Amino acid sequence: TQYTMCWLDYKRCEDENYINKVLPFISNIYIVENNYYIRNAALELKEGLRSVFGIDPIIQTNSYPDFKQGTVIGKLGNDVMERFISKTERDKVADEGFLIKSVTNDSKSIIVLAAKSESGIIYGVFELINRLRLKSDLSSLNIIENPKAALRIINHWDNMDGSIERGYAGDSIFFSNGRIKKSLKRIKDYARLLASTGINGIVINNVNVRGKAVWLITPKFLPQLSEIAEIFRLYGIKLYLSINFASPIYIGGLSTADPLDPGVIRWWQDTVKMIYTYIPDFGGFLVKADSEFNPGPYVYGRSHADGANMLAKALLPYGGIVIWRAFVYNCLQDWRDTKTDRAKAAYDNFKPLDGKFLDNVVLQIKYGPMDFQVREPVSPLFGGMEKTNQMIEFQITQEYTGQQIHLCYLGTLWKEILEFDTYCKGEGSYVKRIVDGSLFGRKYCGFAGVSNIGNSINWTGHDLAQANLWTFGRLAWDPDRSVEDIAKEWILLTFGDDKKVLENILWMLLNSHRIYEKYTTPLGLGWMVNPGHHYGPNPEGYEYSKWGTYHRADTKAIGVDRTSKGTGYTLQYHSHWQEIFDDMEKCPEELLLFFHRVPYTHRLKSGKTLIQFMYDSHFEGADEVDVLIQKWEELKGKIDENIFNRVSERLKMQKEHAIEWRDVINTYFYRKTGIPDEKGRVIYP
């Protein structure tokens, strides 16, 4: 079966009035230079216009005076473009930005779409198509848009056997059976989807680089990778690869991967040089080192700065970068040792290296100190390393948030994280200003999102999980935008402009994370999932394991004391937050059990005891899934039947699994504490 194109499934515009108004502006397309990439952008526009308006504009490149009216596309600085664009306007457009405006010139109706670069043009084309689909008024069109962050990258955890680590939407679109797939069609459609959200980079292989994937950086695979890179290039997206730090041993046959060893240094220089002969604009390497059994510089007694800088030096002459992950911790911890605290690990490993990384190294930091739980505090590395390029890593794939069976829109969570004020440079030192590079004036900063797509017919398993991919791209482009706005736009582009559809789906999206949190692990608890696959409840699944993910519940209290008197984790924050997180009364309640060890009889702000809150939260959350179901059922007949049925199916599963969560967790607490539910609902002794 043919897959859907998500928010790019163009539907015919039926509004005659609007069509008549816009036709003059779009009936021709004029490109001021016949460049391969600009032509592709123009073709993209042409296809869009064909589907939405049923017209077939001709792409012209003849001399401008022959051009009647329509859309003019080109790079800033070109003579034709200069007729329409003032110097002030031109100066406002950044490298990847674009300008779109309408002008009436000699009674011609013209849209001008200009950018500094080919990627700006392709972003602009998608923006224009979307504006037209949303029936924007063209006569007053006047926009200049620039992405706020330099790096907006999708991370694939795709393995070469075709499986996807933590993937819930089918198999890889890039790999199968140890090979790179031959058909590039789906990859091209994926590039289109990503470009339409503003993404500019992609890592196509898993950060855990094992087996055949180690060899991706060799001539065995580079010819095919260069074809993939070309497709992404058409859409403004650079290809990056995850590498294994011990490649000099595995591929090069050296006896060491020590980053200070001259042979190792030379090996990487040669390898990088060769990669660039295949992919001249190769983005660089993503590295997971010394983490979860991946090799790294620690093996040789070297620092992560030694490791990252060695690679960075090799990449520098070609403009490449090293994206180094901060997800480094001891995954063989002893649960009996109550003094070590996994939450502290990233900061402990990296804070001492602030200022030691070269300029083309970026530290990629998970949004929280643990691992993509439904709720975590912001990682203290944001605002903790002023002299280091930083990217924030979000998990679009829903490993811990319902695995695309549960509806869990993540935009609301991400927005809260981005709006967190670290206070590192006084009030207003928001995470979003750190990761867009503006707070410390750094060049390479940005966003990384672990992909939620696979080869399933709707890309994301749950059709509504497409909103997470869309939102990631849009927030990375502009973290100042409201998620409500972003979600609305997604609904309109995906489902059309029916009022009820908009209202109901918007409610579902904006409330879904809160609901999921309520019936799974509220109050910053986390880690009550089944070990390994991480789906479904298991209150002590990780409690006595080595992974360092404890809630330490006993019969009296639960939660970890991470205050300055406990594990000392709060000391990693700016004093403003240290003081708040240290104080049980001031600590934001949704993070209470992350920072504090709290007796079940402790009264929360509402006056409820902690244990009663737990019971209530799980019942409320599971009940609210009914509201999600009801809101969806109300849309029957208004939504494509296949999509409607698929989502209905998943909501049904969500309900069953929410009940399981509710009952398993509540029973656990009842048995642990012996304190009955005031409302008499928790009945299994």
Minimum CB distance to ligand BDP, residue 393 (Å) = 8
Minimum CB distance to ligand BDP, residue 240 (Å) = 16
Whose Cβ is closer to ligand BDP: residue 70's or residue 368's? 368
Q: Measured between alpha carbons, how far is 245 from 557 in angstroms, rounded to an integer?
A: 43
Minimum CB distance to ligand BDP, residue 344 (Å) = 17
Q: Which amino acid is at 78?
A: N
Degrees (nearest 5) of the Cα angle 99, 100, 106?
Answer: 120
Taking CB under 6 A as the rule, does residue 208 contact ligand BDP? Answer: yes
- Positive or negative torsion for Cα 655, 505, 165, 525: negative
16 catalytically annotated: no
Give whole-number Cα distances, 607 to 522, 599, 600, in Å.
17, 14, 13
Minimum CB distance to ligand BDP, residue 524 (Å) = 17
Minimum CB distance to ligand BDP, residue 372 (Å) = 6
Binders of ligand BDP among residues 116 to 135 (CB under 6 A) are none
Whose Cβ is closer to ligand BDP: residue 167's or residue 522's? 167
Look at residue 179 and give its three-state secondary structure.
strand
Using CB under 6 A as the binding criterion, the count of chain residues that bind ligand BDP stands at 10
Whose Cβ is closer to ligand BDP: residue 292's or residue 498's? 292
Taking only Cα atoms into account, the Rg of the chain, rounded to an integer number of angstroms, comes to 26
Taking CB under 6 A as the rule, does residue 304 contact ligand BDP? Answer: no
Whose Cβ is closer to ligand BDP: residue 145's or residue 393's? 393
Binders of ligand BDP among residues 152 to 191 (CB under 6 A) are 165-166
Tokens found for residue 342: 């996994």
371 catalytically annotated: yes
Tokens found for residue 215: 């060899």
Minimum CB distance to ligand BDP, residue 243 (Å) = 14
Cα maximum dimension of the chain: 85
Whose Cβ is closer to ligand BDP: residue 235's or residue 372's? 372
DSSP code for 448:
E
Instruction: Tell me which of 171, 341, 371, 517 is the catalytic residue.
Output: 371
Query: Residues 75, 288, 432, 551: which binds ligand BDP (CB under 6 A)?
Result: 288
Torsion angle of the four alpha carbons 504, 506, 512, 513, in this order, in degrees rounded to the nearest 10: -170
- Positive or negative torsion for Cα 133, 136, 140, 143: negative
Q: Measured between alpha carbons, how far is 115 from 121 in angstroms, rounded to an integer?
A: 5
Q: How many beta carbons lie within 10 A of that of residue 254, not counting itself?
A: 17
Q: Measured between alpha carbons, how far is 39 from 110 in angstroms, rounded to an integer?
A: 19
Whose Cβ is closer to ligand BDP: residue 152's or residue 288's? 288
Binders of ligand BDP among residues 655 to 684 (CB under 6 A) are none
Strand partners, 343: none
Query: Residues 327, 569, 632, 669: which binds ligand BDP (CB under 6 A)?
Result: 327
Taking CB under 6 A as the rule, does residue 399 contact ligand BDP? Answer: yes
Minimum CB distance to ligand BDP, residue 534 (Å) = 7
Binding mask 373-392 for ligand BDP (x = CB under 6 A): --------------------
Query: Residues 118, 290, 371, 376: which binds ligand BDP (CB under 6 A)?
Result: 371
Nearby residues of 286 by Cβ (< 8 Å), 6 or more positions away = 155, 203, 207, 240, 241, 242, 243, 323, 325, 364
Taking CB under 6 A as the rule, does residue 324 contact ligand BDP? Answer: no
Whose Cβ is closer to ligand BDP: residue 145's or residue 399's? 399
Query: Residues 22, 207, 222, 328: which binds ligand BDP (CB under 6 A)?
Result: 207
With 0-12 CB in 10 A as exposed, 13-18 as middle and 19+ as buried, what is 644?
middle
Q: Which residues of 183-203 are buried (b: 16+ CB within 10 A; e: fewer)?
A: ebeebebbbbbbbbbbbbbbb
Q: Measured between alpha carbons, how far is 663 from 493 in angstroms, rounded to an integer?
A: 39
399 catalytically annotated: yes
Query: Nearest residue by C-beta to ligand BDP?
Result: 371
Minimum CB distance to ligand BDP, residue 169 (Å) = 16
Taking CB under 6 A as the rule, does residue 372 contact ligand BDP? Answer: yes
Find tokens 């390994």 and name the residue. Answer: 532
Whose Cβ is closer to ligand BDP: residue 133's or residue 534's? 534
Binding site for ligand BDP (CB under 6 A): 165-166, 207-208, 288, 292, 327, 371-372, 399
Catalytic residues: 292, 371, 399
